[in-house]
Amino acid sequence: MNKDYKGIIIEESLEDNRVLNDIHVVNFKISNDENPSDRWHLYTVSVSKDEIQKLSKYIRSGTWYMHFWKDKHIIAIFKDKIFEFDYDDKSTWKDAVSYGLSQGIPEGQLNFLIS
């Protein structure tokens, strides 16, 4: 199985964090928030397209999403909703951004950064 997509999973976005047991974790860090209850546990992962499909079933409803990239190809997943688009062609982002906004995610958080 090709695990050629990279992404970051925020553990707090998951309904059941045990799904991480089946994911190839490349790196892990905890955000630097002073208040421990505000800290996020961030997993840099390498995943296959099939694993991305599976992860969409584990995202909490509401203001959470994940995105994964392979070169400039982006897959953004929300609770049971998946969008694919081209990072360089902002016109292809429209449906994903509109859906994210409809879920209450601030526009500034729908920037789908890749690295």
**pLDDT given at position 102:** 96
Calpha distance 62→32 (Å, rounded): 24
In which band, very low, low, confident or very high, does the pLDDT at 62 lie, cut at 50, 70 and 90?
Answer: confident
9 contacts 56 by C-beta, under 8 angstroms: no
Residue 112 contacts residue 87 (beta carbons within 8 Å): yes
Tell me what pLDDT residue 80 has: 82
> What angle (nearest 5°) sits at the alpha carbon of residue 86, between those of residues 93 and 50?
100
Write down the domain spans for the chain: 5-109
* Identity of the amino acid at 65: Y
Distance CA(52)–CA(13), nearest Å, equals: 14
Asked if the model's pLDDT at residue 115 lies above 90, the reply is no
Q: What is the pLDDT of residue 1?
A: 73
Sequence-ordered alpha helix ranges (H) in 1-115: 49-55, 94-102
Q: pLDDT tens digits for 8-32? A: 999 999 999 999 999 999 999 999 9
| Residue 61 · residue 50 · CB < 8 Å | no
Would you say residue 51 has pLDDT above 80? Answer: yes
